[in-house]
Amino acid sequence: MRSTRPPPGPITLWVALFTVVLKVLLTVYTKRIGRHTGSIAVLAMARDHRNDVFSISTATIGILFSRAGYVWVDPAAAAMVALVILYTGIEIIRESSADLMDILPSKLVSSRIRQLVQSVPGVEHLEEIHVHRIGPYLLVNVTIGIDGTLTVADGDRIASRVEEALWQEVEYLRRVSVHYHPSKRKRRINVEPTV
């Protein structure tokens, strides 16, 4: 099906191709930085760049086929771009609603906190972890198990090291509370025999 409308010019195609290549490079680079730093914000930006790659690639295909005389591909490509934009919009609404409704943060945040806490010397195990989001900020409550033979001062030092590790490594942290108990793994219950 041919149209009387002139096809997009060659510069339009070259700009679209350049944009696809640039967005692919930005996606790879941003994702690498996000994984290296553990930044949730940077990983979200990488996902946004990835969505742009899908949109721009679809538009580029539409331009290419339109230049070849298949004008029906251009509106079909535009419809595909609209679907990608709709999907991205729904994801943004879902994530924003989660922030507004104080939904628990992602598993990525919880697993990062778990790794940090368990890497602190003196922590025998992690009993509980509660992470809550208030707007962009995180509130973290952690209960750790330590050697039951340690003094309270030693327990406080371990808890302080856990707090310091979280403050240094977790982005958007607003408050940290660390509680400690004698480790359930090493706790022995002495039962006196009854006569």
Instruction: Inform me whether the pLDDT recorded for 71 exceeds 60.
Output: yes
Helix, coil or strand: residue 143 = strand
Assign 172 a pLDDT band (cuts: 50, 70, 90): confident
Assign 187 a pLDDT band (cuts: 50, 70, 90): very low
> Average pLDDT in the 98-118 region?
73
CATH superfamily placement of domain 107-182: Cation efflux protein, cytoplasmic domain (3.30.70.1350)
50-69 tens-digit pLDDT: 888 888 888 888 888 888 88
* CB distance 120 to 126 below 8 Å: no
The overall average pLDDT reported for the chain is 81
pTM above 0.75, yes or no: no
Determine the straight-line distance between the first and last CA of the chain, rounded to whole angstroms: 99
Structure tokens, 72 = 């029906």
Instruction: Inform me whether the pLDDT recorded for 3 exceeds 80.
Output: no
Residue-range domain boundaries for the chain: 10-100, 107-182
The reported pLDDT for the residue numbered 131 is 85
Cα distance between residue 147 and residue 115, in whole Å? 19
Q: Kindly state the percentage of the chain with pLDDT values over 90.
A: 30
The reported pLDDT for the residue numbered 189 is 34
